[in-house]
């Protein structure tokens, strides 16, 4: 048993870039069997899920639609808020029943919850049938852990800190149109409310050449879009010795001529003018920036350890709007941080009124064990926090609708991704500014960027019609 230790998360380790090799054997044990993977959490976790699937399929396994039919169940967990934990514990209840009927099913738990020492102990106490616990730093070991797994033994192999960067772990990408590309792992910011630096370790940037090679290969394979991933993409490069920063990486990625380049998430603190310049310069870098605000109160921002003030945020926001034509900016906001007063919340609303965001993810503060904010005095009742969230969401939704309405009767480029789940006669896709559009069209157009005339604007989506070439001319 190798349990993670949260206290070690702040220690820096030396990283190395290593090449991953798939285990060559075990096909007899798993060939033809079925796996069921459930992923919770952010894009990074989704992308890790794509690696987990590739590792399982290398063994000759195929995905199962129903968890009940699977021979191997993997839960790729998230720890960001309490409800993420609850979902996993809820799901484990279902697995418990299955294990009673079919004790040979192998259950593996990975992702960010596995990196929390107390949680792992709770997991294995409440659900002793779990076979494998692996972490975010050792996905490369999953194959080996499965080979060794048997129904009687429990194997817990979680590294406290980040390990090395493993290049060449295969991915089973969920889409053949858009792809995620990791550029930096981990987070050094230690915002006082956040568990991510503990579960994902210190910042480690991939080499620029490795990222560019991956994007160039994706382009050759016909991908239309890449999203560069990191908890803090603009921290890219500070741990490398070759002097590259995120702006340089963005530029090199744009030069591959892949049609669309996106990136997420940007921290307002180290967003340089050079980054803004590069985004404005290359038409294939999409004019869309997710720029988490978290709070509009300087007092709360300080308690959160965000390293910027309300005015600094607004100035950066305005600079982006001035210099990047047509840019859309979305944000994340937390309400009910410990000690947040009515006045602090009012400040947040004021920033929202100033910035009129294109959209926002909003959350009620959730104390995460081991983080400084979880020990701060928090006297605001939950009902009050819920009311603040409601007021904030009303505002956010109105501005989102307003920003969508600006596109009415305009023609915008839309990358079509698939058939709409709600209406099978329609296709869905995203504008360059990351707005969801439903369009009547032929499935033959999926994977193409087409001009769409916007006919209706709602808070969370747009409706439109494909502009035929003859109309365009």
Binding stretches for ligand SF4 (CB under 6 A): 187, 189-191, 194, 196-197, 231-232, 267
- Of 6, 9, 37, 44, the one binding ligand F3S (CB under 6 A) is 44
When the beta carbons of 259 and 372 are compared against ligand SAH, the nearer one is 372
- Binding mask 61-100 vs ligand F3S (x if CB under 6 A, - otherwise)? -----------------xxx--------------------
Tell me if 335 contacts ligand F3S by CB under 6 A.
no
337's contact among ligand F3S, ligand SAH, ligand SF4, none, with CB below 5 to 8 A by partner kind, is none
Task: Count CB atoms within 10 A of the CB of residue 94.
Answer: 12
Tell me if 200 contacts ligand SAH by CB under 6 A.
no
What backbone phi and psi angles, to 5 degrees, belong to 450?
-125, 155
The gap from C-alpha 47 to its chain's centroid, in whole angstroms, comes to: 8
When the beta carbons of 231 and 438 are compared against ligand SAH, the nearer one is 231
The gap from C-alpha 164 to its chain's centroid, in whole angstroms, comes to: 21
Tell me if 368 contacts ligand SAH by CB under 6 A.
yes
- Of 260, 267, 310, 395, the one binding ligand SAH (CB under 6 A) is 267
Q: If we measure between CA atoms, which residue out of 169, 198, 195 comes closest to residue 182?
A: 169
When the beta carbons of 41 and 464 are compared against ligand SAH, the nearer one is 41
Tell me if 228 contacts ligand SAH by CB under 6 A.
no
- Of 45, 232, 295, 431, the one binding ligand F3S (CB under 6 A) is 45
How wide is the angle at C-alpha 42 spanned by C-alphas 199 and 362, nearest 5°? 105
Write down how long the chain is: 473
44's contact among ligand SAH, ligand SF4, ligand F3S, none, with CB below 5 to 8 A by partner kind, is ligand F3S
d(CA 301, CA 293): 9
When the beta carbons of 22 and 397 are compared against ligand SAH, the nearer one is 397
When the beta carbons of 79 and 276 are compared against ligand SAH, the nearer one is 79
The gap from C-alpha 254 to its chain's centroid, in whole angstroms, comes to: 21
Give the contacts of 142 (CB within 8 A, at least 6 positions apart): 52, 55, 74, 108, 110, 132, 134
How wide is the angle at C-alpha 61 spanned by C-alphas 103 and 137, nearest 5°? 85
Tell me if 332 contacts ligand SAH by CB under 6 A.
yes
- Please report where in the chains the tokens 């309400």 appear, as a residue: 335
What backbone phi and psi angles, to 5 degrees, belong to 465?
-125, 140
DSSP letters for 175-193: -SSEEEEE-EES-----TT
Do the bridges between strand 184-185 and strand 204-205 make them parallel or antiparallel, or are there none, so unpaired? antiparallel
365's contact among ligand SF4, ligand SAH, ligand F3S, none, with CB below 5 to 8 A by partner kind, is ligand SAH
Residues near ligand F3S (CB under 6 A) are 41-42, 44-45, 78-80, 111-112, 195-196, 199-200
């Amino acid at each position: 048993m190798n349990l993670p230790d949260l206290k070690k998360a702040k220690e820096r380790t030396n990283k190395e870039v290593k090449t991953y090799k798939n285990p060559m054997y075990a096909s007899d044990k798993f060939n033809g069997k079925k796996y069921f993977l459930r992923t919770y959490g952010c894009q990074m976790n989704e992308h890790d899920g794509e690696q987990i699937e590739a590792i399982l399929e290398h063994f000759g396994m195929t995905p199962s639609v129903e968890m009940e039919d699977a021979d191997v169940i993997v839960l790729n967990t998230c720890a960001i808020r309490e409800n993420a934990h609850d979902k996993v514990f809820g799901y484990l209840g279902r697995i418990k029943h299955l294990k009673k009927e079919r004790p040979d099913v192998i259950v593996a738990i990975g992702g960010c919850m596995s990196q929390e020492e107390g949680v792992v102990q709770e997991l294995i106490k409440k659900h002793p049938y779990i076979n494998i616990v692996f972490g975010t730093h050792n996905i490369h070991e999953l194959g080996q852990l499965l080979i060794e797994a048997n129904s009687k033994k429990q194997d817990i192999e979680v590294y406290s800190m980040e390990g090395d960067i493993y290049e060449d772990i295969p991915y089973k990408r969920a889409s053949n149109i858009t792809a995620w590309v990791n550029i930096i792992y981990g987070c050094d910011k230690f915002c006082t409310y956040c568990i991510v630096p503990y579960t994902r370790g210190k910042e480690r940037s991939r080499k620029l050449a490795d990222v560019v090679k991956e994007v160039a290969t994706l382009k050759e394979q016909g991908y239309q879009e890449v999203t560069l991933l990191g908890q803090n993409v603009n921290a890219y490069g500070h741990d490398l010795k070759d002097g590259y920063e995120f702006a340089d990486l963005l530029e090199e990625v744009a030069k591959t001529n892949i049609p669309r380049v996106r990136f997420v998430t940007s921290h307002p603190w180290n967003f340089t003018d050079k980054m803004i310049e590069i985004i404005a310069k290359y038409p294939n870098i999409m004019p869309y920036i997710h720029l988490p605000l978290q709070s509009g109160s300087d007092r709360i921002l300080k308690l959160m350890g965000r390293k910027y003030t309300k005015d600094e945020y607004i100035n950066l926001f305005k600079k982006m709007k001035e210099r990047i034509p047509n840019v859309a900016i979305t944000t994340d906001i937390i309400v009910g941080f410990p000690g947040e007063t009515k006045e602090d919340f009012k400040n947040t609303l004021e920033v929202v009124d100033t910035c009129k965001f294109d959209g926002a993810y909003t959350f009620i503060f959730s104390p995460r064990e081991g983080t400084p904010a979880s020990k701060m005095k928090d006297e605001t009742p939950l009902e009050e926090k819920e009311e603040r969230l409601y007021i904030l969401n009303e505002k956010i939704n109105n501005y989102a609708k307003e920003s969508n309405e600006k596109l009415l009767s305009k023609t915008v480029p839309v990358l079509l991704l698939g058939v709409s789940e709600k209406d099978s006669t329609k296709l869905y896709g995203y504008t360059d500014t990351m707005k969801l559009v439903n369009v009547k069209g032929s499935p033959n157009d999926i994977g193409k960027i087409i001009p769409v005339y916007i006919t209706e604007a709602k808070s969370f989506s747009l409706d439109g019609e494909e502009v035929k070439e003859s109309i365009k001319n």
